[in-house]
Structures are given as structure tokens and as C-alpha cells.
Structure 1
Amino acid sequence: MAKKPNILFIMADQLRADYLGCNGHPTIRTPNIDALAARGVNFTRAYCQAPVCGPSRMSFYTGRYASSHGASYNNVPLRVDERTLGDYLRPEGYRVALVGKTHMRRDVEGMQRLGVDPDSSRGVLISECGFEPYERDDGLHPDQSVNPDLRYNEYLRSQGYESHNPWHDFANSAEGDDGEVLSGWSMRNCHLPARVREEDSETAYTTRRAMDFISESEGEPWCLHLSYIKPHWPYMAPAPYHELYGVDDVLPAARSKQELEQPHPVVGAFMKHPESESFARDEVRERVIPAYMGLITQLDDHIGRLMAFLEARGELDNTLVVLTSDHGDYLGDHWLGEKELFHEASVAVPMIVVDPSTTADATRGQRSERLVEAIDLVPTFVDYAGGGEFDHILEGRSLKSVIEGASPTEWRRYAFSECDYAWRPARLELGLAPDQANAWMVTDGRWKYVHYEHFQPQLFDLAHDPDELNDLGNDEEHRTICRAMEEALYQWCRERKSRITVRNSQVSAATGSAHKRGYLFGIW
């Protein structure tokens, strides 16, 4: 890459790390994502910082843990003063834009307090998580009134899909024998094809808008966050993807009778959620998972289409490509639905980074087992852009040297994730106040330890129990390991970056200089 590289930051919402061919799924077809892994580095031990959309994404975009940026759950605003990816890359000459989802809610109160007009150029960036909103679509539109200006709905109407809310009635619903709309919110319908033509589906439309942005961005380096909505629910795939997979492709659920009969109190409370009760049934898994897999293969096809587009434009060799997800999907593992807790199905994410430059040839096609976190992407992008030092703010680590074949002598020993389940029915089931529903995960790659406020911990041996079926949290023989992991978590809590208004280099330059500056305290 002879100039500053373009950055294509792809995120697929709710894509499990193990539902890719390159990560070992036995039947799923993901040749284009597998090709990315063959061209780059596949980080196979990557973790999100909070396994639910909003806080996970805020960590991806700020390079900071959820405890630090404070947006701990969906629709908790990101504070107006938090720097995001665009704040780091725009000073380096980048156009930083979004096509797709962020699940970010702006800090209305903070903007009002500071007198920031949300319609001003600065206000728009603050409102959109630092991205130029080339096309924002969070993919959650039960009623069009949620977002009356949704361009995707406008597009669908222009293609002849007449409806108050074509996102629901066509893109995320099927059609019954008598022409009736069968809503995709009912998972019993997800074996049927969506009413929308494939070329008009959300994934196809989002890819096309990404191409539009790239075509308009000649002459300046760009960073595009291409944030696909699928395979997140509603699990509705257009033809022919709805029928690519069948019951034979549904892997057995990772769950045990003991988990169901003697669950951890918090996990047991989550098992009582409607989505968990549904996914505990084989008939639900056998209908949903083939549709989920079809959506992933559709995504893969469009990533291949996008790579061909970049190559035809001569930009593939100057574009850093990252593919990841914000969290996984339980799909019935551990008798659970959705995400949010800390089993691998929920908290592990795919992380593939493709650096096309010759400096990365040494690692091309490698699988790395280093512990990697979502917060590593912002410092990585800043590093590739030639940006400054922000070690007083950013809590992640740049992956650039690892991608170029270096072996840093000091790498993280642990990865962390957090859960604030105050909004969930599980909190009421457990009798907790809103500020008591917290949990934290720490793993060193071998052991995974989960600390729940007010409840006993969990401990899993990932080496001998990769499906996490045997909870050792109350096992006396593992008490020493529990204490060591708890201490690692406590150490992490003490290391959060709270002094973010003064650079460490400024602190170093000023240390011990009071007398030189005329403050003569302590003189006899």
C-alpha cells in the first residue's frame, strides 16, 4: 500500500464465530469469507466487550470497555464527550462513513447542555456515533413511524412493494397460501422465502449502497463501516437462500440435562425468557437454524460481490478489510436464546483482518490464537492511518505489528466482557434492583471465569470442556483458580482509563517540573 490505506470495516450483526467454514462449521458455505481468511489473519480467540448490540458496538467504535464509555445496554446514550473512530481518522484525512447499523442513541441531554444543534455538521457526527451517515439503517422497524425517513422503505416502495412498512411486510415476512402476510417475527414462518426479491433484500441493498459510497470517494482515503443487519432476527431469507440448508445441517445443541435441572441462578433466570423457552425446543432450532445459515451464505455471496467490485476499481490492493460481528447467537445452546451471557456462542466473535501490503505476507492465511478484543480495532485503524498516540484514552491494542509478523513480548493475558441485564426480565426474577444486575467475564484462553454480583461465580475449563457444560465455580479443587481469575478481574477494574483529557506524554514531560515552573513549595 503506497498511500494511506482505505479501511473497509465489515460487521455482520449476530454472526456466530463458529458459523463460518474457515472456523470449522462442517456444512455452511462461506467461500468468500473463507477467502478473506486465506488472504489475511483469522483471529480465532476474539471476544466482544458486551454480548449485546448497543454496548458491544460502542466498544468497537470507541476502543474502550463498556465500563469506561458507560453505554452499558441498548439505547443507553453514548456520552457526548466520548471520542469515536471518526474523531481519530478524520484528522488523518479520512472520510469516515456508515452504511448500515450502529444501534447508537445520541446523548440528547448532553448536547442540549453544551448547546450543540443536532442538525449542525458537528451535531450530526455526534448523533451518529462519529460516522457520516451515508445510509443508516438499524434494521429494527416494527412500525415505519420509528423511522419515517428510512431510505430502505423508500427504495422498496420505488420497486413496487406497496405497504405502510415494506421492511416488515415484504423484506421480513413471507406469504401464505391465500396471499396473506406471514410475519417474520413469528419464527414458525422462517422456513418460507421472504416476500422480497433477493436483489431488493436488506443485504443486497446494503452492499449496493456501500458500492455507491466507494464510487463517490475517489481522491481521498476512506473508512467505511459496512454494518450488515443480517443474520440478526427476524430470521427471514429471500429465495433461494431460504432453502439452501435443512434439518441435516442443524448441529446438536451444546447443552446438558444438568444445566437445565441445576442451572446457575442467573442463567436459570435467562432460561425463563420467551426466546430461551422457544429455542429449547428442537422444532424451533430445526426451523430457525437453516434460515440463519441461509442468511450467512447470502451475506457471503455479497461480500464476494463487494471484493470483486473493489478489485475491478483497482482498490483491493490498497484496502484494509476487517470482518467481524458484534456478538453471537445462542440458537438453543445451553437452553438459551438470543445472546447477552458469556458462553462462547454469545461472546466469541469472528475477527478476520486482511492487510494486502507486502509487509503482511509473513502472516497471510494464518490462524492466530492470541486473545483479541473488539476494542483492538480502533487502535489498529489509527496505527494504519499513521495517527498519533492515544494511550491515555484507548484501551485496546493495535494488531498491526502482529499482522506484520512481529511477536510482541507483552500481549494481553486476559480478555474481558461485561453484562448489564437491568432491562431484562431475569432481573425481576432474581429480585435485583436496576444497579445490581451486573456480571463480568474474564478468560485467559484456558479458563473462563464469570463474576455475578450477589451470586456465586462460574468457571469453565475451555481446554477440556469446550462446550462449557461443566461449571466448576463451586468446585473446591478449583478454588485457587477462581481466586486467581477474580484477582485478574479486580486488577482490570483498577486499570480503566479515566484520565482522558491529558496525554501520557504530557504527564511525563511535566513530572517533577513544579520547581522549574516557579511553584517553590517544600523549600526550607
Structure 2
Amino acid sequence: MAGKIKNILFIMFDQLRFDYLSCAGHPTLETPNIDRLAAKGVRFSNAYVQSPVCGASRMSFYTGRYVHSHGAAWNNYPLKVGETTLGDHLREIGMDAFLIGKTHMKADEKGMERLGVSRDSIIGARVWECGFDVYLRDDGLWGEGPSGFYDKRRSPYNEYLKARGYEAENPWAENANAGVADDGEIASGWFMKNARKPANIREEDSETPWLTSRAIDFLEERRESDAPWLCHLSYIKPHWPYIVPAPYHAIYGRNQIVPAVRHVSEKTDPHPVHAAFMNNPIGQAFSRDEVRETVIPAYMGLIKQCDDQMGRLFAYMEETGRMDDTMIVITSDHGDYLGDHWLGEKDLFHDPSVKVPLIVFDPSREADAARGTVCDELVEAIDLAPTFIEAAGGEVPRHIVEGRSLLPFLRGEKPDDWREFAVSEYDYSATPMAGELALEPRDARLFMIADRRWKFVHAEGGYPPMLFDLEKDPQELVDLGRSDEHAQIIELMYERLSRWARRLSQRTTVSDAEVVARRGNPYATGILIGVFDEDEIEPRWSEKYRGPARQRFLPDSD
């Protein structure tokens, strides 16, 4: 090992479950390349995202702040123009920050216009792209319907495919995310029955190899450069549509699927919010064994392809010496229920949704003591931003960044005052479920508090809380939120939620050190509030206010 971190490779997979890696205990899915990275670094087994939905979660990763602070609470909610991002922090200490792949960033166009920030300027481009300098951005959802494209920007991936000879107007939809039916028709991946089919694309042209190739291009271009960088390599998969090219479509079968974590009792008098999500079309679909048996092998195949591409990327880094001076992180923005708890997608706070894989490889000598270990401390997604700032040699601005650096754990140490609980939030006010529950937008919100024993969820709108005993019920099948026997636990969790909500999070323009410095004697600047007689203070404080009057403008007295 080189003994010092020069660069940071921040890899994120979209919708990758925390337990769908062989190093995390999956019994049939093989991920040897990711496992090897875990064997050289630290795997965090209790890593929680700050929101179980793409956009809000990613904005917390990129700012180091809770959703409660940055306000971008759902997909395509703009990140406020004044929020400081990871790229901003790193550039202050001499490290560039680049993007390859997805951010789900929605720029605050109105805020930029109000402040006169042009998108065409360097600063404006960075504000528009969540603080990154874009090497390549592709958010990976090029769906198209009667109203046009879901994503109105150009698709670099579609342009690449057309240059490679794919003739479709939207080859993302027609090739990368579709197979071919027996009658020669398009077998779209949007229809989950087609998940067993191979995607109609050369494997090397599919999304995951394409982004890996762009990452290698990026690394190759910087082989001779001494400038340190962070590269956020953000993959589109294994996010739906659930379809994968050959040979990955046929590697796994229904006999290799892990049984669903669910019980019929969950449908008996369920929490109203849980019931609303169970009854939506996604929950109803993934409650069917046919759907799980068709989709999950494809999901596993997508992960296997991701792992193979990690092998390709890491081999290049080893050949070029980049493994010796680059911190590497592998994580995800949230998980995927896949039928657990009668749910599909993400959204709520059971482990399959809110927990993510997190593996950190630190090449420095100081990390030798912790290599190959598993840390079960409560870790949050916002902890990566301060970790990167410290790894780059900077000091974490605690008045802005709310996470805590993981460097001590990477080096075999544990802070004495590590967090007691993790927090996650979900604003579902823009979903049909909020409408079905007849909730005002301000009431369609959930807050999770999780410690080592308990997971608690507060639901706005007058609903009871949810509570799970993770020790006795690790699969989270029994909701104790309405149990009188657990009133004290619920009271403790509400106290923690209240304490968290009262944290100082909005004074981001003045640091604690600056605040303390302002506690000095105000007399030094001539502000003599509370002084009755000049003899009550030292003469030096009132020097500017004593002596003969130079002129007299008072009216003559009688």
C-alpha cells in the first residue's frame, strides 16, 4: 500500500439491497470481486440511508445533510441553490469532484434565476449538477409515453448505442431494456413477465459495461496527472426495468431465490400507511410468487454483471497502480423489497429498503489493522461526505456537514461518543398513497429512529407509530407500535426524535469557531451597553468617548 490516500472512487449502485452480496451472506448469489474489496477494507453491516427513495437519499449523500436540512425530499424536488455539496467542500482543499453516471439531481432553476447564476458559467454548471464537474451524466430512465420522455435531457447512452449501430429511436427502451418475443415483437422490460428473456443488446453495450468503460476512460486520461480527484461512478443498475443481457439472464433460477420475508399476520389490521403501500400496484404485483420467481433471477443477474464489471475495473486499477492511492467505496442509494413484507420497490423502513451495502477500502497503512473486518455500528449515508473530506486532508465543517467521518473505523478505532440511533425520513406526499389516505402534503411524512434493538417509525397525520423489536423479531414481522407494553420504548423513541429535530442544522454560514470568537468583550469595538458611569469600566474601553468636545451645537440655555 502507498500509505496515503490521493484519490477517491465513490461507486454507487442503484437499488442494490444490502443483503444481495455473497460477502453479506446471500446463499446463492456470487459477488467475488466486491467480496475481495470487502476483504481488503471494512464492510459496514448497519448502514442506513437518510431516505428510502432515490432523489432524497442521493442529496443526503452529496451534501452530508439530513433531508430535514436540505429539503429535497423526493425525486425531482430541487436541491436549494445555496446548499453546499461534496464537490464544494473538496475543491476548497484542492480535490476535484467528477461525475460518471446518475445523480437524480434536480436543479433549483428559480433560485439560480433569482440570483443571476447562469447555467453556462462554471459555477452555474456545478450548481446545476449537484456540485460535480460532469464527465458524463446519465440518470438511466429514458422511458417514453404519450407525454414524451420521462427525462427531458439528452441521453448520452442512447447516443452511444446509435453510434454502435442500434437503429431504434430509443434503443435504451427497445434494446437495453427489452427482449424479443417469439413472434418478433418487442418484449419490453417494463412488463415483468419478460424478465426471463435476455435483453436484445450485445452484453458489452449494455448499461453497466458502458459506464465501466467510461470510468476506465476517465482513469486513463488522468494517468499522468498529479491533481487529486474524487470520481462518483454512479451505476444505473440493478434498478428496474428488471431485464439483463445474456448470459446473465440465465445464470440464476427460481430455485436460487431466497424466500420472501413476510407473514399473513402483516395483513391483519396493518398500519394504515403500510396497508396503502401493500395495496398499491407494485405491492400487489410483488405479493405474487409468479412475479418474484420471474423478476428476482433477473435482479440477481444484473448484480452478477455489476460484480463482473467491478472485476474489470479493479483489474485496470491494479495494472495502473491506482489501487495503491485510491480510496474505494461501494454502496447504494436504497434497497428493493422484492416482495418482502408484501411490498415492492422501496419507500418504507424495513431493512430491505432502508439499509444499504457499504464497503470502504482505504489504501493507507493506517488502515491495515481493520482490513477484512465487519463493523456493526450504526452508520448513516451522510457519514461519507465527512469521510471524504478528512481523507482528502480537510477539516470537516461541522456547522454544515451533519454526518461523522468513518476514518476511525477504517483504522481499527471506535469513537467513544458514536451515535445511539440512526435517522431516516420519507416524504410520500407526491405519491398516490397519500391521496388514498386523504392526507395533506405536510402530513404525508414518516420518520424512522433505529438503534441496535428497536426500529421506530413516527407517522404524521394522526396515525399511531410503528415499532419493531430487532432482537426478538429481526425480520420485522410484528408491529408493536400500538402495544401498551411498549409504551416506555415508544416514549424513549419520541424523545430521541424530538432531540434530533432540535439539532442545530440551519446556521450554515457561520462556524462554531466563529461563534465562539464573537463572545469576546464588546467593549473592544466601542459597544458599551449597560454602562452607567465611565468609571465602571477600564479607561481604554471608553477612550474614544472622553475628552473636550471639539464643537458645540447645543442651543444656548436660558
Q: Which TM class, normalised by the smaller chain length? A: over 0.9
Partner of 1:258: 265
Q: Give the CA deviation at 1:147.
A: 4.3
Partner of 1:198: 203
In structure 1, C-alpha distance between the alignment counterparts of 2:396 and 2:187, rounded to whole Å: 53
1:315-353 CA-partner distances (Å, limit 9, x unpaired): 111000000000000001110111011000100011110
**Are 2:47 and 1:70 aligned?**
no
In structure 2, C-alpha distance between the alignment counterparts of 1:490 and 1:147, rounded to whole Å: 40
What amino acid maps onto 1:517 in structure 2? T
8 Å contact from structure 1 (residues 45, 348) kept in 2 = yes
Instruction: Name which of structure 1's ranges 108-117 and 511-520 shifts more when overlaid on structure 2.
Output: 511-520
Partner of 1:235: 242
Partner of 1:303: 310
Q: Give the CA deviation at 1:503.
A: 0.9
- Write out aligned runs for 1:5-44 (5 A): 5-44=6-45
- Write out aligned runs for 1:52-201 (5 A): 52-143=53-144, 145=149, 146-147=151-152, 149-201=154-206
Instruction: Name which of structure 1's ranges 331-340 and 513-522 shifts more when overlaid on structure 2.
Output: 513-522
What amino acid maps onto 1:79 in structure 2? K
**Are 2:229 and 1:222 aligned?**
yes
Name the SS for the 1:515 alignment partner.
Answer: helix
1:209-252 CA-partner distances (Å, limit 9, x unpaired): 01111111222111100000100000111100011100011111
In structure 1, C-alpha distance between the alignment counterparts of 2:288 and 2:396, rounded to whole Å: 51
- Write out aligned runs for 1:279-428 (5 A): 279-428=286-435
In structure 2, C-alpha distance between the alignment counterparts of 1:76 and 1:402, rounded to whole Å: 34
- Write out aligned runs for 1:462-501 (5 A): 462-501=470-509
1:91-110 CA-partner distances (Å, limit 9, x unpaired): 22222111110001000000
In structure 2, C-alpha distance between the alignment counterparts of 1:93 and 1:32, rounded to whole Å: 31
In structure 1, C-alpha distance between the alignment counterparts of 2:401 and 2:483, rounded to whole Å: 37
| RMSD of aligned alpha carbons | 1.1
The percent of aligned pairs where both chains have the same amino acid is 56
What amino acid maps onto 2:440 in structure 1? A
Q: Which of 442, 450, 453 is 1:443 aligned to?
A: 450
In structure 2, C-alpha distance between the alignment counterparts of 1:431 and 1:477, rounded to whole Å: 31
Task: Using structure 1 for the length normalisation, give the TM-score.
Answer: 0.98
Q: Give the CA deviation at 1:2.
A: 5.1
In structure 1, C-alpha distance between the alignment counterparts of 2:353 and 2:526, rounded to whole Å: 56
Which protein shows a greater Rg? 2
8 Å contact from structure 1 (residues 329, 345) kept in 2 = yes
Q: Give the CA deviation at 1:388.
A: 2.8
In structure 2, C-alpha distance between the alignment counterparts of 1:208 and 1:290, rounded to whole Å: 25
In structure 1, C-alpha distance between the alignment counterparts of 2:406 and 2:3, rounded to whole Å: 20
**Are 2:516 and 1:511 aligned?**
no
Name the SS for the 2:388 alignment partner.
Answer: helix
In structure 1, C-alpha distance between the alignment counterparts of 2:19 and 2:291, rounded to whole Å: 20
Equivalences, count: 524
Cα 1:255–1:4 change in 2 (3 A) is: closer
Q: Give the CA deviation at 1:148.
A: 5.5
8 Å contact from structure 2 (residues 3, 363) kept in 1 = no
Name the SS for the 1:254 alignment partner.
Answer: coil
8 Å contact from structure 1 (residues 413, 444) kept in 2 = yes
In structure 2, C-alpha distance between the alignment counterparts of 1:380 and 1:513, rounded to whole Å: 37
What amino acid maps onto 2:25 in structure 1? G
In structure 2, C-alpha distance between the alignment counterparts of 1:148 and 1:258, rounded to whole Å: 45
1:111-156 CA-partner distances (Å, limit 9, x unpaired): 0000011121111110000111111010111138534632111110
Name the SS for the 1:451 alignment partner.
Answer: strand
In structure 2, C-alpha distance between the alignment counterparts of 1:495 and 1:54, rounded to whole Å: 23
Partner of 2:535: none
Instruction: Name which of structure 1's ranges 292-301 and 256-265 shifts more when overlaid on structure 2.
Output: 256-265
Q: Give the CA deviation at 1:517.
A: 2.4
In structure 1, C-alpha distance between the alignment counterparts of 2:153 and 2:19, rounded to whole Å: 37
Cα 1:349–1:148 change in 2 (3 A) is: closer
In structure 1, C-alpha distance between the alignment counterparts of 2:321 and 2:405, rounded to whole Å: 27
In structure 2, C-alpha distance between the alignment counterparts of 1:346 and 1:411, rounded to whole Å: 24
In structure 1, C-alpha distance between the alignment counterparts of 2:346 and 2:4, rounded to whole Å: 40
What amino acid maps onto 1:297 in structure 2? K
Cα 1:482–1:261 change in 2 (3 A) is: same
Name the SS for the 1:516 alignment partner.
Answer: helix
1:165-220 CA-partner distances (Å, limit 9, x unpaired): 00100000000122211111111101100001110000000000011111112221
What amino acid maps onto 2:219 in structure 1? I
In structure 2, C-alpha distance between the alignment counterparts of 1:321 and 1:81, rounded to whole Å: 29
Instruction: Name which of structure 1's ranges 166-175 and 115-124 shifts more when overlaid on structure 2.
Output: 115-124
Name the SS for the 2:524 alignment partner.
Answer: coil
8 Å contact from structure 2 (residues 3, 366) kept in 1 = no
In structure 2, C-alpha distance between the alignment counterparts of 1:148 and 1:479, rounded to whole Å: 51
In structure 2, C-alpha distance between the alignment counterparts of 1:160 and 1:445, rounded to whole Å: 53
8 Å contact from structure 1 (residues 96, 132) kept in 2 = yes
Q: Give the CA deviation at 1:513.
A: 2.8
What amino acid maps onto 2:196 in structure 1? H
In structure 1, C-alpha distance between the alignment counterparts of 2:266 and 2:250, rounded to whole Å: 33
Cα 1:148–1:434 change in 2 (3 A) is: closer
Q: Give the CA deviation at 1:402.
A: 1.8
Q: Give the CA deviation at 1:56.
A: 0.1
8 Å contact from structure 1 (residues 4, 221) kept in 2 = no
In structure 2, C-alpha distance between the alignment counterparts of 1:4 and 1:184, rounded to whole Å: 41
In structure 1, C-alpha distance between the alignment counterparts of 2:483 and 2:153, rounded to whole Å: 55
Instruction: Name which of structure 1's ranges 479-488 and 143-152 shifts more when overlaid on structure 2.
Output: 143-152
Q: Give the CA deviation at 1:261.
A: 2.6
1:248-306 CA-partner distances (Å, limit 9, x unpaired): 11111111111123211000011121111100000000000000000001000001111
Task: Using structure 2 for the length normalisation, give the TM-score.
Answer: 0.92
1:54-104 CA-partner distances (Å, limit 9, x unpaired): 000000000000000000000000000001110011122222111110001
Name the SS for the 2:196 alignment partner.
Answer: coil
**Are 2:473 and 1:502 aligned?**
no
8 Å contact from structure 1 (residues 171, 196) kept in 2 = yes
Instruction: Name which of structure 1's ranges 283-292 and 114-123 shifts more when overlaid on structure 2.
Output: 114-123
